[in-house]
Amino acid sequence: MNEFSVSVLLTKDEYIAYNAARCRKNRRGVWLMLLFGAAMLGVGLSALLFPGKMPLPGAASMSLLILGLFLGLYPTVLAPWFDRMRSAAEYEEKPDLRQASVYTFSGDAVGVRNGCMEGSFRAGLITEVTKTAGLIGFSVGREAQVIVPFRLLDERQTAFLCKMKGDTL
């Protein structure tokens, strides 16, 4: 396959799923937060259940319980929820995400044409690749993103993009 073009109009749900997956992939220190949360939860619960063996005031025990619960819930429940909320707000704030874009993929370059920019870049300049069940996204730096839903591609085009993904990173 030499070259193909695809016209993309990204929906809000697709962008939210893409950005949430991207944030989840870039999140660091999850296990450390869970470990500290479990430790604080255990100490706070032990101080409440066995006050003779752990002389902590009730307020300190409850504070440890609440902090442990927060640290345990943050990476698994709260952070993904915040990511989705931020992604929805970002979709509404950036008009370029609601514009149709035409992406042209060739052997070593990606062409972009939409209302905000027009041009191409080498595939080697791709800094991040995010693949979800419904789409694949390529980032070039912080601002330029090429997001293509799989529903718009046939099998050969999907294989080409996945190969491009492997070659660029």
Give the domain CATH number at 148: 2.30.29
Cβ 134 vs Cβ 20: under 8 Å: no
Report pLDDT digits (tens) over 7-52.
998 889 988 988 888 888 777 777 888 899 999 999 988 888 888 8
Which of 120, 121, 126, 122 lies closest to 166 in space, CA to CA?
A: 126
User: Phi/psi at 132 (nearest 5 deg)?
Assistant: -115, -175
What's the pLDDT score for residue 168? 47
Report the distance separating Cα 137 and Cα 73, nearest Å: 28
Residues 83 and 105 in one domain: no
What's the pLDDT score for residue 89? 92
Among 52, 76, 93, give the residue marking a domain's end. 93
Helix (H/G/I), strand (E/B), else coil: 147: strand
Looking at the structure of the chain, the number of domains it has is 2
Residues 87 and 104 in one domain: no
Residues of the chain with pLDDT > 70, as a percent, come to 96
Report the distance separating Cα 91 and Cα 59, nearest Å: 42
